[in-house]
Amino acid sequence: MPLDEGVRPLAPSLSVDLRRPGEGSDPFPQQAPGEPEPDGPIWRGSAFHTDAWARPADGELLPDSPVILSKARWLAERDGLAGRNAPLGLQIEPGEAIDDLAADLGRFALIALSFPKFADGRAFSTARLLRDKHGFTGELRAVGAVLSDQIPYMRRVGFDTYAVTHGPTRRALVEGRIAEVTLHYQPSTADEPPAGTRPWHRRSGE
């Protein structure tokens, strides 16, 4: 069916600050935040950045710089990687468990959670478990199908960086046009609603 015309002008756009509470301009100074770069792949805070992390294929030789490993490679090479000083990252695919890695999570400066499709929301729960259950405090990165309308949800469950390839989403981020509902009925990982707006949330804010 043809789209009909006559849509009214945009409502005032609701800008959203994607920094997590308490986060400065450089949340992981000792880690590998990348440099501000308008064409960079990683959205962090309020700008695109270069990606300081390499994602070598399983079996490929590891450089002496930040790398993101698959879970399979980490499990296979864990002992050999024990003495490594360059930062380590881990990428978790939907369906891969994290509970069996609980003792290892402190080794990772970054965990990337994959969204193979827009509609595959498993990583939202994995993110919450990483933050709330396992106390992971490193960088949590969304990779894959990262679209503008998901980003506020991603932020709320604990993500702080986003590998964004979708052109309109990149533009919307740069122009501050992520339309978001800024009031929340449920506590989450990244932020709590203002005290007093929902009494059962007040508890968590106290």
How far is it, in rounded angstroms, from Cα 143 to Cα 43?
11
Give whichever of 63 and 176 is closer to other proteins, judged by the CB atom. Answer: 176
Rule CB under 8 A: which residues touch other proteins? 1, 3-14, 94, 118-122, 124-126, 128-129, 132-133, 147, 149-150, 152-154, 156-157, 168, 177, 179-188, 192, 197-201, 203-204
CB of 204 closer than 8 Å to CB of 187: yes
Other CB atoms within 10 A of residue 89 CB: 24
Give whichever of 50 and 153 is closer to other proteins, judged by the CB atom. Answer: 153
Give whichever of 77 and 96 is closer to other proteins, judged by the CB atom. Answer: 96
Cβ at position 119, least distance to other proteins in Å: 6
Cβ at position 189, least distance to other proteins in Å: 9
How far is it, in rounded angstroms, from Cα 138 to Cα 31?
9
CB of 154 closer than 8 Å to CB of 124: yes
Element (H, E) at 4: none
Backbone angles phi, psi at 122, to 5 degrees: -60, -35
Cβ at position 204, least distance to other proteins in Å: 3
Say which DSSP state 54 is in: B
Q: Please give the structure tokens belonging to residue 180.
A: 């978001």
Cβ at position 93, least distance to other proteins in Å: 12
Give whichever of 9 and 24 is closer to other proteins, judged by the CB atom. Answer: 9
Cβ at position 29, least distance to other proteins in Å: 28
Give whichever of 90 and 127 is closer to other proteins, judged by the CB atom. Answer: 127
